[in-house]
Structure 1
Amino acid sequence: MTRAIASLSAFALLAVGACAQMPAVGSVGVGQAVEKTVYVAAETRPCSTGVARVECLQVRESVDQPWTLHYFGYEGFEHKPGVEYRLRVRGTPVANPPADASSVRWSLIEILDQKPARP
């Protein structure tokens, strides 16, 4: 009986681990980079990445989507408060990322548009 429970537990852990490593739909897969256009809100929002409270970018992929928090920023991009942006970005998978870091490194390709936010 104990051996059966141990076997089932091991199988469950392997299944959960495999699911945790599978890329989400539309995300960057293993060994492949992705490019996309994102909208960045004029203001950042507080967010938590572990014990520290930091400011995160608000991003979305189309104007009709709700804003989501982007925790790690975009390499080569400096956000200015009060300015809305449309960016072309590239996501590159990171091999063996630390537990508290993203598995994708996002970098700026180009700023497609930037304008002062409407009051």
Structure 2
Amino acid sequence: MKFPLLAAALMLAGCQQVTAPEGETLFVNAALVPCIGVGPMQCMQVKESKEQDWTLFYNHIQGFTFEPGYLYELKIAKFKVDNAPADAPNIRYELLQLVSKQAVN
């Protein structure tokens, strides 16, 4: 029983939260779009406020499952990942709250 707790503590020790404890708002567009990361892939489009233009999002949001056809408003936390591999993101995103999920016609 002690080993899983120790392993979890060590994994979390390598992450530092870079957002406020209440999180940040992130809007997610209703469709994935083609993009190029390490290779061709499908990316979400996101923005931090309704007034901004959509930008490509190459990462994953832990705890969030994207469903095409819905606009999302999320509350997320960002964590800095220490010693991330060169081909991996140095920020980890985690869902705190699904604020809204609105069907698009």
- 2:80 pairs, out of 88, 93, 104, with 93
Larger proportion of helix: 1
Aligned residue pair count: 88
- The amino acid of 1:47's aligned partner reads C
C-alpha displacement of 1:73 = 2.0
The percentage of aligned residue pairs carrying the same residue is 34
Superposition misfits of 4+ residues, deviation over 3 angstroms: none
Question: 2 CA distance for matches of 1:31 and 1:94?
Answer: 7
- 1:37 pairs, out of 10, 21, 25, with 25
- The amino acid of 1:49's aligned partner reads G
Q: In terms of Rg, which structure is larger?
A: 1
Contact 2:70 2:103 in 1 (8 A): yes
C-alpha displacement of 1:33 = 2.4
Larger proportion of strand: 2
C-alpha displacement of 1:95 = 0.4
Contact 1:57 1:73 in 2 (8 A): no
- 1:48 pairs, out of 36, 57, 60, with 36
Question: 2 CA distance for matches of 1:99 and 1:112?
Answer: 33
The gaps in structure 2 that reach 5 residues or longer are: 1-14
Question: 2 CA distance for matches of 1:32 and 1:87?
Answer: 17
CA RMSD of aligned residues (A): 1.4
Match of 2:89 in 1: 102
Match of 1:74 in 2: 61
C-alpha displacement of 1:41 = 0.2
TM-score by length of 1: 0.70
The gaps in structure 1 that reach 5 residues or longer are: 1-29
